Amino acid sequence: MHGAGNDYIYVNTMLFDIPNPQTAAIAWSDRHKGIGSDGLVLIGASPIPEADYSMRIFNADGSEAMMCGNASRCIGKYLYERGLTPNPSPRGEGSSHQGMQIKLLTKSGIKTLFLHIKDDIVESVTVDMGKPVLEDEKLFNPNLSTPLPHRGRLRGGELRSGRGQEVGRFVSMGNPHYVIFTDDVDQVGETGRLLEHHPAFPQRCNIEFAKVESDGTIRTRVWERGSGITQACGTGACATAVAAALTGKAGRKSQIVMDGGMLNIEWRESDNHVYMTGPAEFVFDGEIYAP
């Protein structure tokens, strides 16, 4: 399945056990020798009554992530269209249920999925991504001033390159992101690779390069830790929207345009939560032996 081009392999572990998910993620994510994906997502039963289902996500390099917004939307679509949603609403042609909710347990807490359904198809999903975290010394040390090969240095929380200063902000949406506003979003491959492993980020970091366009949309490219350049990143879109609001580049609602499509983000003042809305799509089903 994919959400705005951010594609993962999904396994329902209530039916199929994956004993070595790290190994499977590496083998299956290989786009030449495996299925090909940005990683592996495991859908499971929830061990606690407060949630309906659980998810675990492993990047293409086998590392486990805390959360993935695009993957959570795909899980919502999978659960509904496979008839696994809790307390399912009446189904049938012509039905339209906007109130379907699923509580999904992730490693960064319980996320609420709001399914937008028409004619028994989940057209899009809104995810309550929770409150953004703007400071976390376990994830970001802004006081480091360490040189970056070929690009400059990260000092005081801002990336300074030979071409001047490119303003960046740290935002955690369950996993760490560093958002840089720049006219050169295509430096994602070069600078993103370097910043992911920068000493300022003790647990590595997802890196976004964003530019506010004349129509108000925010063009964003993303380097995901453990996966590299991806078509989209849900938590990254949320982090970009928060960073844009904090720096006065946008309001509380943003349209984030990524390589694979657009996500709508709202950072609500009423509860300080970030809400992400976007598509989810099936690509194919198949069988493969677990390594």
- Among 151, 126, 121, 130, residue whose Cα is nearest residue 242: 130
Are the C-beta atoms of residues 167 and 181 closer than 8 Å to each other? yes
Burial (CB count <10 Å: 0-12, 13-18, 19+), residue 272: exposed
Query: Taking the alpha carbons of 65, 69, 73, 74 in that order, is the dihedral positive or negative?
Result: negative
* Residue 238 is among the residues annotated as catalytic for this protein: no
From the centroid of its chain, how far is CA 174?
10
Are the C-beta atoms of residues 280 and 1 closer than 8 Å to each other? yes
Using left for φ > 0, alpha for ψ between -120 and 50, and beta otherwise, residue 66 falls in alpha
- Among 84, 80, 139, 71, residue whose Cα is nearest residue 111: 71
Catalytic residue among 74, 205, 233, 238: 233
DSSP H helical segments within 83-219, as ranges?
188-196
- Structure token digits, residue 7: 């594609």
d(CA 132, CA 186): 26
Q: What residues are paired with 58 via a beta bridge? A: 40, 64
Are the C-beta atoms of residues 276 and 114 closer than 8 Å to each other? no
Catalytic residue among 68, 74, 205, 238: 68
C-alpha triplet 69, 239, 49: angle, nearest 5° = 40
Are the C-beta atoms of residues 52 and 58 closer than 8 Å to each other? no
Specify the residue for token string 């951010």.
6
* Residue 205 is among the residues annotated as catalytic for this protein: no
- What residues are labeled active site? 68, 233
